[in-house]
């Protein structure tokens, strides 16, 4: 199935039902008075995150979603039935944006999480509501209010702990194939990966993390070149980036330093904090070099970049050094999770217990 990570849909909440004008007419009961009931509320449109859905492909075939209208009020003080709410299932990681205003309405990242995107109209009032001591036979009612209509942009952003980035043919697909349960196609031509791929890395029976292989970034990706432009957003949720570098390119005149800096430049152009994320280097294809060649190229690259973060020499295809890299990533993710938990505890202690009288 093709990976679809963007969709445009229209949602229409139901209108509220109209109030009724009616009078009681029964034998032997003169001047029965008003008995028109209220209308029912219109149904709302609600998006629900569903972990069983992995793409937005269904929205290619259905783009309009309309909730049920509220029923009109009836005589004998009968209230119209409210319209049923419409629940629309979307994948975990779906960001919802109002196309007209550009406002981000929500981010559905947890299973079962709901987001109200179009509120149903309110019911109209029947003429019973307008009866008073001075108006015994009111002939007025109110119509139901219209439900909200919205054009929405849905953007699916993968939920991964670690993102792989680098140029085409750097070996990202080979790496995720080697260390996870994902098995992307691997070939010796550019853009082997044409859609993001998620894999689960199991360090041991109780420790694991999710890794994402993002299509290769070429110069100009942030401005729309190649395949990277529409997939950079999938790196926003990651905790750690692993920059895979081909240490044995077919053309020996390729400037590795310039290529690494070019990829970082695309992250900076894209923004959204990608360039400031923690980033490690995975120096790949070292099995194609002698030990001396690898050491010389590694030292030249790290010195030119003034590299301070972790780096690992690996052969993704042969599996050399990949277990050590994954174990180190697991330890770092556990450190970051511990920091998050500690900060959450400190924030809770700072705010104190919830006081309902103050809310």
pLDDT tens for each residue of 126-144: 999 999 988 888 999 999 9
What lies within 8 Å, CB to CB, of 212 at 6+ separation is 158, 160, 162, 163, 164, 196, 197, 198, 199, 234, 235, 238
Give the pLDDT score at 241.
95
A 10 A CB-CB count for 132 gives 8
State the CATH number of the domain containing residue 307.
3.40.50.300
Residue 352 lies in a domain: no
Give the pLDDT score at 20.
97
Give the pLDDT score at 62.
92
Letter string b/e over residues 232-248, b meaning 16 or more CB atoms within 10 A of that residue's CB: bbbbbbbbbbbbbbbbb
State the CATH number of the domain containing residue 69.
2.70.210.12
Domain range for 69: 1-157
Are 189 and 326 in a shared domain? yes
What lies within 8 Å, CB to CB, of 304 at 6+ separation is 257
| Stronger pLDDT, 208 or 359, i.e. the higher one | 208
**234 touches 158 (CB < 8 A):** yes
A 10 A CB-CB count for 349 gives 9
Residue 124 lies in a domain: yes
Give the pLDDT score at 214.
78
pLDDT in tens, 285-304: 999 999 999 999 999 999 99
Give the pLDDT score at 1.
37
What lies within 8 Å, CB to CB, of 282 at 6+ separation is 175, 242, 243, 244, 245, 311, 312, 314, 316, 325
pTM tops 0.85: no
φ/ψ of 284, rounded to 5, equals: -95, 165
């Amino acid at each position: 199935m093709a990976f679809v990570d963007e969709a445009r849909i229209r949602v229409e909440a139901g209108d509220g039902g109209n109030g009724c004008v009616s009078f009681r007419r029964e034998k032997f009961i003169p001047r029965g008075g008003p008995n028109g009931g209220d209308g029912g509320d219109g149904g709302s449109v609600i998006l629900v995150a569903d972990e069983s859905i992995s793409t937005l492909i269904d929205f290619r075939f259905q783009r309009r979603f309309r909730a049920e209208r509220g029923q009109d009020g009836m005589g004998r003080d009968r209230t119209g039935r409210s319209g049923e709410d419409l629940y629309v299932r979307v994948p975990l990681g779906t960001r919802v944006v109002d196309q007209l205003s550009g406002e981000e309405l929500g981010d559905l990242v947890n299973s079962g999480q709901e987001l109200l995107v179009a509120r149903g109209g309110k019911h109209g009032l029947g003429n019973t509501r307008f009866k008073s001591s001075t108006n015994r036979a009111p002939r007025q009612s109110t119509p139901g209010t219209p439900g909200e209509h919205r054009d929405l942009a849905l953007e699916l952003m993968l939920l991964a702990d670690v993102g792989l980035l680098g140029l085409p043919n750097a070996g990202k697909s080979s790496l995720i194939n080697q260390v996870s349960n994902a098995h992307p196609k691997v070939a010796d031509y550019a853009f082997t990966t044409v859609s993001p791929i998620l894999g689960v890395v199991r360090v041991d029976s109780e420790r694991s993390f999710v890794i994402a292989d993002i299509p290769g970034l070429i110069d100009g990706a942030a401005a729309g070149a190649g395949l990277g432009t529409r997939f950079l957003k999938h790196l926003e949720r990651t905790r750690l980036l692993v920059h895979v570098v081909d240490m044995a390119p077919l053309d020996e005149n390729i400037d590795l330093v310039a290529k690494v800096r070019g990829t970082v430049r695309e992250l900076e152009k894209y923004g959204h904090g990608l360039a400031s994320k923690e980033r490690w280097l995975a120096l790949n294809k070292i099995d194609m070099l002698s030990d001396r060649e690898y050491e010389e190229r590694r030292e030249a690259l790290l010195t030119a970049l003034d590299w301070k973060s972790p780096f690992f020499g690996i052969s993704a295809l042969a599996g050399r050094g990949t277990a050590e890299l994954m174990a180190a990533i697991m330890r770092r993710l556990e450190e970051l999770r511990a920091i998050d938990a500690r900060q959450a505890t400190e924030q809770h202690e700072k705010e104190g217990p919830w006081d309902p009288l103050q809310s």
